[in-house]
Amino acid sequence: MIVLGDRADPWLEGTFTMASEQYKIQLEETAQQDGRLPHQAGQMVVYRAPAASFSDHDGSISDQACISPPESSLERRQIGWGERSLTDLIGSTSGCPTSRQIAYIGVATDCNYSATFSSSDAVHRNIINLVNTASVVFENSFNVSLGLRNVTISDAECPDSVSGSTEWNMPCPQGNLSWRLDRFSSWRSSINDDNAFWSLLTGCSGSQGAVGVSWVGQLCNSGASASSSSTGGANVVARSRSEWQVFAHEAAHTFGAVHDCDSSACKADAGDGTQCCPLSSSTCDADGQYLMNPAASGGVTRFSPCTIGNVCSQLGSRRVNTRCLVSARDVKDGGDNGTVVNGSQCGNGVVEPGEACDCGGHVCSDRDARCCDDMTCQWKGGDECARSRAGDGDDDGDDDGGSWVKQHRPLIIGLGAGIGGTLVLTMALMAITFCWQRRELSKAILSQISTNRSLTARQTAPSTDGNPATRTKGAQDPTTVG
């Protein structure tokens, strides 16, 4: 789901699932281009995605396929790729990342695709929605998100002649989907990037209603060093009403996925678990319930347990290259320089423009996860969750002293206040004690002085018992001398 516009009541576009039914929310403009709803200017529309299967088929070409590939899409898929039984892998996630990874991708459109939209902004919004929707499925299945790093939108008016390496950007009659894949792969190999793959969105459909074609298992392969310049991490997706499903399907081929078994494959003895993904160890036909069904369907929203086991096994065994995958934690901490243009997605684990935090995918510490609002991706209020910056360091001991002080500021303030209060109380007690001691000393001195005076007065007083008083030295006799 993406937010459009900076306003109190923003527009939304995206896909969501409720009660096992998939729904789309779009601007009226986008829905009109899909030919689904009557005109409702200035509004958003919500409708249920169709569940009926279409007669659109995809062809997935093995990286070892010839220029003239076999006719069967199943045969094209399995060349050099069906050497082990997939039955034992059903439901296994062994080999998939234990912490969430991000696969950066690039998307380009040809003139035929751009012409189906009213503006380049509408094309861009559709691409973001397409990738975001598929990314949720990839994250839930393989623990890998799709990050849209590069977008190339061709003009809606097709060129009259081939221009350089963009031969793929030609009117539909110039070539089928396989023709476009070859030329798009060559163009992709000339780009110096570390994207996991590139997708070409075209407004042209293939022969026999084909809506997609992809090289199998070519993740993280730019094609620049391949034995053939026409192979690499690239696929082609045709515009259709099940577009995001086709995009997810072709992207999964790039990750090494094969087709789910259908009735025709099972009848042809291809459902032995080496040529397609069976439903279970006892049932061959997957009955079109999942995204890797050879026929595109607008109602499917997940990969089969067999596909998950297959892809995880490919990733874990390194039969599919994973060197370009980036840890979501590295992106959160600024350790990767990839700039994602998917639009801000609260909950994807990546702190994007407008977000103060994002703890999706369990990338945050327990403390940050408690303090980050998972609905708004903003820090929660309260003393416990006070933050001086949009994110703290990890709890892995790698933070510097300044970060430690910021993390423990409330504790430091509390300790300082406690110690300061103790010092003030101690000084006050010392002052009171000092004053009391001075007072007691003064009382003792005054008492001693009073005692001394009493003794002196007693010594000088006249005798009262008839005896003459003692004469002191130097006293004169009062008798007159004469």
d(CA 299, CA 58): 17
6: domain range? 1-49
Look at residue 250 in the predicted model and tell me its pLDDT: 96
Do residues 127 and 245 share a domain? yes
Do residues 8 and 147 share a domain? no
Do residues 364 and 230 share a domain? no
Indicate if the pLDDT at residue 360 is higher than 60.
Answer: yes
Indicate if the pLDDT at residue 448 is higher than 70.
Answer: yes
Domain end point (choices 337, 363, 391): 391
- Residue ranges of the annotated binding site for Zn(2+) are 249, 253, 259
Residue whose token pair is 């949009």: 390
Do residues 146 and 193 share a domain? yes
d(CA 289, CA 332): 35
Domain count, the chain: 3
- Residue ranges of the annotated binding site are 249, 253, 259
Do residues 205 and 95 share a domain? yes
pLDDT band, residue 71 (cuts 50/70/90)? very low
Look at residue 216 in the predicted model and tell me its pLDDT: 93
Q: What number of CA atoms fall less than 13 Å from residue 29's CA on the CB side?
A: 14
Burial zone of 292 (CB within 10 Å; 0-12 exposed, 13-18 middle, 19+ buried): buried
Do residues 288 and 366 share a domain? no
CB 427 within 8 A of CB 421: no
Beta bridge partner(s), residue 106: 150, 198
d(CA 248, CA 131): 8
Interval 443-447 mean pLDDT: 81
Q: Is residue 476 part of a domain?
A: no
Count of beta carbons in the 10 Å neighbourhood of residue 62 = 22
Do residues 35 and 137 share a domain? no
Do residues 216 and 89 share a domain? yes
Look at residue 341 in the predicted model and tell me its pLDDT: 62
Look at residue 313 in the predicted model and tell me its pLDDT: 95
- At 134-155, the pLDDT tens digits run 999 999 999 999 999 999 999 9
Do residues 90 and 45 share a domain? no
Angle between helices 120-142 and 305-317 (to 10 degrees): 80
Q: Is residue 145 part of a domain?
A: yes
Indicate if the pLDDT at residue 185 is higher than 80.
Answer: yes
d(CA 270, CA 265): 5
Q: Which pair of structure tokens corresponds to residue 379? A: 């820090």
Q: Which of 54-68, 150-164, 227-241, 452-466 has the highest mean pLDDT?
A: 150-164
More confident: 215 or 333: 215
Name which of 302, 328, 308 is nearest 103 in CA terms. Answer: 328
Q: What number of CA atoms fall less than 13 Å from residue 426's CA on the CB side?
A: 6
Look at residue 467 in the predicted model and tell me its pLDDT: 52
Active-site residue numbers? Answer: 250
pLDDT band, residue 357 (cuts 50/70/90)? confident
- Mean pLDDT taken over the chain: 76
Residue 102 Cα to chain centre, angstroms: 8
Q: Is residue 171 part of a domain?
A: yes
Do residues 185 and 116 share a domain? yes
Indicate if the pLDDT at residue 235 is higher than 90.
Answer: yes
d(CA 334, CA 115): 38
- 198: domain CATH number is 3.40.390.10
Do residues 177 and 287 share a domain? yes
Do residues 91 and 235 share a domain? yes
Question: Across the chain, which distance is largest between two alpha carbons, in Å?
Answer: 172
Single-letter amino acid, residue 420? G
